[in-house]
Structure 1
Amino acid sequence: MVAADWRASRLAPRRAAVSRAQVETVSGRALGAFGLVFGAQTVPTAIDQSAFLVDGAGAAMMAVLYGAIAALAAATFTRVAVRGAALAFATLYVLCLLAWPFLVVDTAGMQQQTPWLYYLCTVATTASVISVPAAPATAYTTAVPAIYGIVRLTPSGGAAPPLLAVLDTMYAVILGVVVLVIITMLRQAAESVDAAQEAALQRYDVVARQHANEIERVKVDALVHDSVLTTLLSAAAARTPAERQLASRMAGDALRRLEEAAIEVPGTADRADVSVLARRLRAAVTGFSAPFVVRVSDTSGVELPVEAVDALSSAALQAMVNSVQHADGPIGRVRRELEIRGVGAGGCVIQVVDNGSGFDPSQVPASRLGLRVSIDERMANAGGSARIESEPGRGTRVTLAWPAGVDGGAS
């Protein structure tokens, strides 16, 4: 019954938790899509109002803003330089808005008309939310509609009545604040999920180490039972000189084994089968919000020092955490793989691969410890090696090898 329930839980669909990277991807692509829609809607009005501007100014303004919108949409759907493209559009929009009163030469023609820039105001405020932290985004969301309201009052902006200018300003502010609040709340919720997942993995690592300590305790208990107690019982039952001589030899052997156990350094002399490592990582995979395809090969009879098993396990867990948190793909689209392969009688190679957004390893700040300490240094301290291969938009491959140098034939 228990086995059946366990199999049912494994087969039941698991709802994927939304990570910060996924929130950024969805928000960015929504901005790119709506920017194209809103931009397309303003084209007829922009063409009509170009006649009221300095010759060539209308065409230049349309080329700048519509080109920025197209670049923003391309960046959001390729997940390359999204924040830079959003910041560029938000900046260009403000510059165009400030330049508008100086470019309009036919103020009579603009009477009772709404400058076409107004319809892109929400796109610009959303771009600021995507590209900068909450505080400057809040300032932008309130300041830019206020600038538009001032322009709206001037003859070049249609000489709108003050009440209408205020209403237009407040409408743009409300829309911008709603978008700001929604994205900020989603980011905070996703960060909480990421933090909870990281804490769960850390707790798992502690439990795994406690389990290793328990195994060591059981081993010592078995040594005491098999050697010490057996020797004491044999000595107590000895009646003949031969039996006493046997008990004496057994006592000497027990003392030698106890001395060896006392000076043994845990994690150095102890060895564990690679299958133990595979079971540990398989168990960890079930706790992730994103699925991994797990492949295990050539592990039969392969044994590693316990220290190497701990290092490989911890580094692989960190690599999988990084993939789940930063691969930055839409839910269900990123493929993640975990391969565990034995090499010879005492070597192992682990690969954590995904086809997500990737990154430039040379651009990772030194303050980010996940790669430098949790993977590189951990493997190096245990006598192994770590190789990280990644490019923006091309996915990531992390190769862990013990001992160092055995990964030459890794695929």
Structure 2
Amino acid sequence: MWFGGHGGKERGAAAPLDGPGSSERLLNVTVERYGVWLRSTVICLCGALGLVWADATEVVPTASLLVPAVLACGVRLWSLRRPLPFALLWASDAAVLLLAGLSQPVLGGEGADVMVEAIVGISVITFQYEWATRPVTGALLAALGAVACALGDIRSSPGQSLESLPLARILVEVFLSRAAYVIVRGRARAADRAAAAWAASRREAEVAAARRATEREHLATLHDTACATLLMVSQGARDWSWLAPRARRDLDALSAVPGFETGSVDLAALLSCVPEGEGPARVLLKTVIDGPLAIPSGPGLAIFNGVREGVSNVARHAGVGEAELRAWSEKDGTIVVELSDAGRGFDPDSVPARRRGIAGSVIGRMHAVGGSARVTSHPGTGTRVQWRWHERAGESGGDEVQVAHAPDRAPAQHSAVVRLIRGQVLHGAQLAVLLISLTSQFTISLHQLTTYRDVYRPAWAQTAAFVCLATVAATGAAYLLRGRQIPPTVRWCGLAWVLAASATCAFTLPPERLTGPTDWAFGLIGWHALYLLADLRVRVFAAFLCVHVGLTAAVVFLSASPTGVQLALLGIATVSTCGFQLSVSALTRLFHDAVPAAETAAAREEELRTRERIHEHIQRDHKERCRALTATTVPLLVGLGHGVLSPRDTEVRLRCGVEAARMRRLFAEGDAVSDPLVNELRACVEVAEQHGVAVSLAVRGRPSEVPVEVRRELIDPVAVVLARTRSTARVTVVWTPRAVRVSVVGVDCADGGSGGDGGDTETTASSYGHASDSNVTVVRTVRGESVWAEAGWSKPAAQEVDPA
């Protein structure tokens, strides 16, 4: 039998590999090609051997039936290259079965039974894989194969009762074929689900990283443009000639979607466009640039924006009106840009972490694109800022932390997914072969062993071989069913036992009975060896089959001179059993080798999905930012840029101060600190202190987690009051187990803090300028030029925690 019996009457099943996701596309194609090629090969070889032993009078009628069957196989092979209609494919497969069954009475004799059942047997098995995605079609073809066998038996032996054993074998073979397919498919799907979950988590991480990067770039742009402009307006000046063009440039910068393009730009051309400022804020740049300097757009824009911020810092803090800008490319391809001035200098270590000019606009930008930046300065010795970028890896010129490139993780992740899929499908194949071995051994092989017990010499040796194979299968199952690999020691000991069983069965059976109905072990031995050797190279399993077949051939040749029919029967048995098992081993290795290519294609698809997801989120984030800026910042910039609003107007300057404080709070929103609420409050306090306001901050209670939306609502009233205060203010944060309150008292507030009259008290639900469901209540009281405002938030019941 194919699984565990003689080479003509019994047939078996392979263990195809199929699964959803990327593996499904690979396995469907691989398994279909495997089934078609295997069936066509067996039909051609068995047909040729059948013609060898046929009498001269039977050659022509036999060929007239087998040649159309071969042509039908050719049609199926052609369909692998070009899709053909379903009806044509089904008709060609059915024709193979019917023509093979009709050839049995034409040939006659035992040889005809062997050849026909070999062809029908391999066909009903491979049809389960050729039509893996259409199980009903595979089942119908299997039923047609049983009918073909029955018709052939009836026509070749008229008057005799129909043998039920061949039909039962076909049912067993079809069941085992489909069961093996389902087992392997289940393992492949488990691998694909794990790989999909892995890919989804990696995609979400990449999307989150991209969103954080674009958020950093957006905040850095906001800091360098709108925030700096509005802060300067709020502080007042004598000459406002620079304001209108700068406000318009800020609007243009805010309207651009932040991102990191991969196109190449000339950094020298970019640096030539660095604005020097206007009026008293103008800085005379002495440029020495060895160009052109080709660089990707992302790093190029990061350096350009960083240099622009550096020039702005020279104008505001250095106390000089000149600076030198140099750029060059080193021998290893590193691009270096350096901005230096001879101003008053400063101590970089003394700059608060909340200040964004250096950390965000200079260093943070370069780290985000895989480069580095270093600021060197001492009081009284000037300042030098250096940007460095290399195409292969970011190089740090100082103590800055280097940022690893995300693409460097891709090969390791790809290899891990390949190993996962290979391991799961290999385990599924071993389980499927183990199922074939045990089912075949304890059904058809056991029936043969008990039926022909009198033929064996001695019978106890055949029984011992049967027990030996069962023991090996039980040992292998103990490992495989627990998801573990079979240890090498167990593998090789088991293989030795299997080979001993092969020798015992071959030498205790009459030579003329080998590979016949009484030989229960010839087709079974290979399956037991296959689940032991499935994870090794095909040549190892092929060597074992050669030894196994060699033992049987040695017994045949040593006993007497074999006839041509005996050799033909041995050849058919070898092709239909051992050849089939060898093809299953080759299929496993074929899938093993094809997984990387399939996973590479899947990785490309995943990369496209990730890019689309990133683009979608960045676009949505950008729209959300624009929506938040439209109500407050953008109207101010539009009015200042087009002369609608006058910077000499006190109310306009106050509004600018409020917006600058709000943006400073936004910059602090992403800091990794233990108390984000107080950290963001301190950012607003710093803006007020830059205006000369003396602010005291007191915190009482134990801080707890507050959602970012709630923090915005709590801090905004404080930012408004602080921005309008001209002398002193006191900010208090009170934590309780169930609530948090933030209050501010501003003395000498412009226009009473909100334009209200003295003694007015106002209670609102939100103060952030848009609808909110954060349940934050704001109480504001105005008495003369003093303003008291308090924002409070009570935690929902699910978030209440015991501070103890």
TM-score (norm 2): 0.28
Q: Which has the larger radius of gyration?
A: 2
TM normalised by structure 1 equals 0.48
